[in-house]
Amino acid sequence: MAQKDELPVLGGHPAEERDAAGDVAFRFAGMTPALGDRLTLTISDLAFGGEGVARVEDFVVFVPFVAVGEVVEVEVTEVKKRFARAQLRHVAVPSLERVKPLCAHFGECGGCQYQHLAYSAQLRLKHKQIADLFQRLGRLDPGLVAPVIPCPQPYGYRNRIMIRSQWDKFKQRLNIGFLRADNRLVVDLEECQIAEPVLNQQIKQVRAKPPPRGGIKMVLRIAPRGWEVPPDSFFQNNQFLLPKLVEVVRDRLRQSGTRYLVDVYCGVGFFSLELGDQIESFVGVELDGLAIKAARRNAAARGRANGEFVAGAAEELLPTLLSRFAARATTVLLDPPRKGCRLEMLQLLRQTTPAQIIYVSCHPATMARDLNILCADGVFDVAQVIPLDMFPQTMHVESVADLRSKSLTPEQKASLPMPAA
């Protein structure tokens, strides 16, 4: 190994650094950038999460707010052993898909990642990212991923936002808005371009009568028409694409031919009640007790009497609930939080093998991980994955996966190995 004084130099910095543990990270072929370096890079890809991918020889540099094929000038802000992050300083050669963002705070506010991209480019990008994640994490055929269904309203669609207050010691006043893209400070703003206009009026009202201090979070919400939703309970935040989401799930349920539905993480009963006319009987389970009470009232308001809602932990209640219905005639609908399903839930589904699982998720990476577990040893097959762009201008995307079980004997089920977490 070369001596320290013989190491190559990039941008005037010695080609050696120490990480937080004090370990030396030598630069690949003398080309690893250092903190503060100004580089000219060509963007080769966009990673899930929105950061552009560029390379300095074998070393990866992540840059936000760029497009594939662009030549950009950046400043390195973080260096690790195998990658670095940099801030965009100038776009030397812009992509033909680059557009002017509608929001004056884009690039500063952390809410959006893709306003600089034409909407058609966002849809293609999200499809590629989902397909890549399913291949890499789920070990699934990327050809199973359908094109992303677009939102009819790419701006002004959110019916729920959370704004924060934070004391600005330099301005000597409160900042009211969203967290920055690069730190935990709050960007002071008067409107959000992806929020429905009514919510922007609510932002103005909050600013006119601000909270008494910093550190307060305020949820602004438009109540969904025809649904009772407690303040802290979940409901889809895009009413413009929600009918299409229901259509997709209904179609997959119809194709399965099942007669019973177990709706796990059912919230206020949205899917159970939207699908209730297609099945003989349903049961919804949810840990949020207030949401379950609302689900029962939502069912009564619709005259939906062929099912029930049960409060409790799904992992504990599911064995009893599944025993009510014949597995070969049952669909289990999973709509878990962003972190995905617990391993106990996935193992139980592998043992009970309902005819169909419809998995709805806003996080493709955790969905791919869970589908990999469910499909191990050929217990389930993925029939199709249908993405829907419920979150235009952002890195987020909703997906619906349709899984079908294979016919296994009790002996085969008993011999199945339990997949690792």
Find all residues with CB under 8 Å of 184, minimum gap 6, and list them: none
Report the alpha-carbon distance of residue 72 to residue 46 in Å, rounded.
14
Domain boundary among 169, 193, 221: 221
Q: Which two tokens stand for residue 299?
A: 């069912």
Closest CA to 137 of 403, 369, 341: 369
291 shares a domain with 256: yes
Residue 196 lies in a domain: yes
365-374 confidence digits (pLDDT tens): 999 999 999 9
Residue 229 lies in a domain: no
Closest CA to 384 of 142, 204, 208: 142
User: Which segments of 257-306 does DSSP mark as H helices, in order?
Assistant: 270-275, 289-302
Report the alpha-carbon distance of residue 307 to residue 183 in Å, rounded.
47
323 shares a domain with 185: no
Find all residues with CB under 8 Å of 265, minimum gap 6, and list them: 285, 286, 314, 334, 335, 336, 337
357 shares a domain with 302: yes
pLDDT at 267: 97
Domain hosting 190: range is: 160-221
pLDDT at 418: 52
Strand locations in 355-420 (E): 356-361, 380-388, 398-405
Residue 126 lies in a domain: yes
- Domain with residue 202: its CATH number is 2.40.50.1070
Contact 63, 51 (CB under 8 A): yes
139 Cα distance to chain centroid: 19
29-60 confidence digits (pLDDT tens): 456 789 999 999 999 999 999 999 999 888 99
Report the alpha-carbon distance of residue 389 to residue 127 in Å, rounded.
10
Q: Name the residue type at position 336.
A: P
360 shares a domain with 319: yes
pLDDT at 24: 31
Half-sphere exposure of 17 (CA within 13 A, CB side): 20
Residue 111 lies in a domain: no
Residue 232 lies in a domain: no
144 shares a domain with 86: no
Domain boundary among 195, 221, 247: 221
- Domain with residue 81: its CATH number is 2.40.50.140
Residue 114 lies in a domain: no
Which H or E run contains 199?
Answer: helix 197-208
373 shares a domain with 266: yes
Q: How many structural domains compose the chain?
A: 3
176 shares a domain with 256: no
Residue 190 lies in a domain: yes
Q: Please identify which residue in the block is written with the tokens 């199945």.
A: 416
169 shares a domain with 26: no
For the chain (421 residues), the mean pLDDT of every run of 10, in chain order, is 33 37 38 89 95 93 98 97 95 98 97 98 98 93 97 98 96 95 95 98 96 94 95 95 98 97 98 98 97 98 97 93 93 96 95 97 96 96 98 98 79 51 50
Helix (H, G, I), strand (E, B) or coil at 69: coil
pLDDT at 262: 98
170 shares a domain with 137: no
307 shares a domain with 186: no
294 shares a domain with 190: no
Residue 256 lies in a domain: yes
pLDDT at 200: 98
- Domain with residue 315: its CATH number is 3.40.50.150
Q: How are beta strands 260-264 and 330-334 bridged, if at all? A: parallel
401 shares a domain with 275: yes
